[in-house]
Structure 1
Amino acid sequence: MIPPRTIVCLGLSQLISWGITYYLIGSFGPLIIGELGWSRAIVYGGLSAALIVMGLTSPLAGRLIDRHGGVRVMTAGALLNAVGCVGLALSHSVPAYYAAWLCLGLSMRLSLYDAAFAALARIGGPGARRPIAQITLLGGLASTVFWPLGHLLAEFLGWRGALIAYAGFALLTIPLHRALPSSRYVRPEPSASVPELRPLAVSRSDVVTGGILYATLTTLANFLNAGMSAHMIGILAGLGIAASVSVWIATAQGIGQSLARLCEVLFGRRLPPLTLNVLACLLLPVCFLGSLFAGLSPWIALAFVFGYGAGNGLLTITRGTLPLVLFDHASYGAFVGKLLAPSFILSATAPIVYALVIRRYGEIGALSLSVALACAMLAAALMLKLRFARPAPLDTAAEE
């Protein structure tokens, strides 16, 4: 059993780590462009470079956690988060700017959800499903907390001073990571009362098919999330909503994420991850179709952002729990690290692709692209559900 203290500490570390790395470009991107005079593609391309590094280092990061546990790996990630933020604050040239982002790419892979999920799977085995969902409750508030906080810090300190403050926040996560136990899950001997929990993908064909569908789904989801995280505020403002109002509407994404995850934690105990995955993917096309009319009213925009956050929040949970029911948890970190690598590498192009689409086709064009991506995700989720539509063996373990 994973201690509640570990779950709370890891949840807090995720809130801070996501806010000071992945979401920082949403707060400081326009300010960096305004001061340095670089193009939008160059500035937002920094996140793309970081995502490429995340993809290239993903298999290695997973193996390191399987072998050494989450404490050492995630602590190293926290230190590199601080180094990357300081590097951005001190950058005055494009090479220095991108060097800082390359550092952040490695640090994000060592400190964000996928590292935390692998660490929990190493500790709790099949019983890690509930802790995985629980740590995302606080992590989902990262944009809600750090987008306004970033703007506030930038007003008083400038964007460079705000990034120095972010480096301080990164160091605060080190004692939180130290709460992770160093133990490893030991599979109990099967008995009549405690049957052996077997993955749904047993044969080689099942493993290959499940791996391809899981990798496709996560790649599409990460691409969509990377594009919207970088441009959400700009898209809302481009639809005619005041810039200050757009910032606050965008924070509803985090609220939607955490409330949806709270509902899953409280009421989704008996809902298999494959079914939850389909429901989450069904919500996204509906929200993005509604987003095409977000310029008509801030309330429509608010409903879109909240709904998108809810769907994305549930998908974050299933990204961590699907491998627990599909594949052997003993090699969770290494195997899932390989499957996630394409999603990081391809999603690295998302901020630039969205920037180019916005420049040529406007905000409606970017939202139309999002509709297409969401529909493709739903198709992949349905195929995964149909292929492995058997009772999930982790439901009883999830209650322990």
Structure 2
Amino acid sequence: MTEASSPLSTRVPVHSLGISQILSYGLMFYAFAALKTPVAAATSLGESTVLTVLSMALILQAILMPIVGSWCDRHGALSVMRIGFLTGAAGIAGLGFAGAVPVPTMIWLAGCFLLVGTGLAMSTYEVAFSAAVQLHEAKSRRSISIITFYGGVASSLTWLSIHPLLEAAGLTGTCLVISGALVFASLMIGNAARRAPRPAAVRDAAAAPFRWSLLQSSEKRAMLLLAGSGALEYLLFATTTLLWINWFDAQFGSLALAVMLASIYGPFQVVGRVLEMKAGHHLDARLTGLIAAFLVPVSLMLVQIQSIPMAVLAMALFGMGHGVLTVSFGFVTNLYFRAEIYGRAKGIIATPRAFGAAIGPGVGGLLFGLGSDVYMG
């Protein structure tokens, strides 16, 4: 069987990449919705302080995105991911000992989150999408959709498992389990890298210059629009995501119900991505992205109605909107930038988006501290 005719699954390790996104987003981002409280207790700091330090780590992720994109083009995205998971594992393991080491608490906490932020920058969707484009550019939209199917359940699986794990093993035990899972992800991606053919895009990257002055007008417009819209979408996403549990707990007075409601949007990300894949053969990815962008503000209006059915509907729309937008941001970039420069283009486009995600938890924590009516209003 020739490379050109080989099945997608043998060219692009979509399932390994998909599982990696459950572990990356789940354990280095979503987990802090549950971990922020025990970390705050262990360090005698407020939850808002922990979220602020997390935001600083995510700002580091944003700063690193262009560099990570360049590494992807030159060394291969799979190799970058492998190292990223190990870096994140070290940071999470350190958090388990926060407040119990002879190091000033803020210095230890900042160091751990620095490693988590670096690991996140090297192992999330932007890098996974780069791997898909490098290995099989012609089928990148389908690969990206499959990868995001897995990522869509990251929040639900994380929240439904971390809370019981914290009760059974405590903060230290939970962090060590999470760290072990990230090491497993590194080994899995390393194995995929050894089995995958060396991408032609990586071989050609050195000969493919990438500078603003060399871009066509359409490419410049695309870069600015994708960067700006991505920043706004991820600011809203990060401001709300880690506080959905707090929001629903305040609304309905039940932590168990709050966890269940907050977990709804994850599976509906998958629903949105299934619909995007089905419609992808008939609709331009830019159009599906616009439709999805409309669903997010609608969901934020519905969630303010103190009704369980409305909360379920809001979470479903929020999940579908964000789910489709993730695919759109990944594939639309490839419509304008070829595989040899995709990593660098994606890195620059993702930088303001990552800044939005970075300041989101801190902004959300500050607003929620002022009152739930101020937070969502």
TM-score after normalising by structure 1 = 0.83
- Contact 2:76 / 2:131 at 8 angstroms: preserved in 1? yes
Who is 1:304 aligned against?
Answer: 314
**AA aligned opposite 2:319:** G
Please list the CA deviations of residues 324-361 of structure 1 after superposition, one character each: whole Å capped at 9, or x if unmatched. 1133332010112012112222432211111222222x
Cα shift at 1:143:
0.7
Change (3 A) 1:225 1:108: same
Change (3 A) 1:2 1:140: farther
**AA aligned opposite 1:318:** S
Is residue 2:282 matched to residue 1:275? no
Where structure 2 has 5 or more consecutive residues not aligned to the other structure, the ranges are 1-5, 100-104, 202-213
The one of 250, 260, 275 equivalent to 1:238 is: 250
Equivalent residues in 2 for 1:196-211, closer than 5 Å? 204-211=216-223
Cα shift at 1:103:
0.5
The one of 334, 338, 348 equivalent to 2:358 is: 348
Is residue 2:22 matched to residue 1:7? no
Please give the alpha-carbon distance, in whole angstroms, between the structure 1 residues aligned to 2:237 and 2:300.
13
**AA aligned opposite 2:374:** G
Who is 1:364 aligned against?
Answer: 373
- Contact 2:95 / 2:175 at 8 angstroms: preserved in 1? yes
Who is 2:29 aligned against?
Answer: 22
- Contact 2:51 / 2:362 at 8 angstroms: preserved in 1? yes
Cα shift at 1:118:
1.0
Who is 2:198 aligned against?
Answer: 183
- Contact 1:323 / 1:329 at 8 angstroms: preserved in 2? no
Equivalent residues in 2 for 1:26-65, closer than 5 Å? 26-65=33-72
Cα shift at 1:290:
0.7
Equivalent residues in 2 for 1:1-400, closer than 5 Å? 3-4=8-9, 6-92=13-99, 93-177=105-189, 178-180=191-193, 181-185=196-200, 204-293=216-305, 295=306, 297-360=307-370, 362-368=371-377
- Contact 1:69 / 1:182 at 8 angstroms: preserved in 2? no
Please give the alpha-carbon distance, in whole angstroms, between the structure 1 residues aligned to 2:320 and 2:157.
16
TM-score after normalising by structure 2 = 0.88
Please list the CA deviations of residues 22-61 of structure 1 after superposition, one character each: whole Å capped at 9, or x if unmatched. 1111111122233433122211113202211111111111
Please give the alpha-carbon distance, in whole angstroms, between the structure 2 residues aligned to 1:110 and 1:27.
23
Who is 1:376 aligned against?
Answer: none
Runs ≥4 residues deviating over 6 A: none
Please give the alpha-carbon distance, in whole angstroms, between the structure 2 residues aligned to 1:309 and 1:89.
30
Who is 2:210 aligned against?
Answer: none
- Contact 1:2 / 1:123 at 8 angstroms: preserved in 2? no
Where structure 1 has 5 or more consecutive residues not aligned to the other structure, the ranges are 187-201, 369-400
Cα shift at 1:207:
2.0
Cα shift at 1:269:
2.4
The root-mean-square deviation of aligned C-alpha atoms, in Å, is 1.9
Please give the alpha-carbon distance, in whole angstroms, between the structure 1 residues aligned to 2:106 and 2:226.
36
Please give the alpha-carbon distance, in whole angstroms, between the structure 2 residues aligned to 1:73 and 1:341.
17
Please give the alpha-carbon distance, in whole angstroms, between the structure 2 residues aligned to 1:250 and 1:179.
33
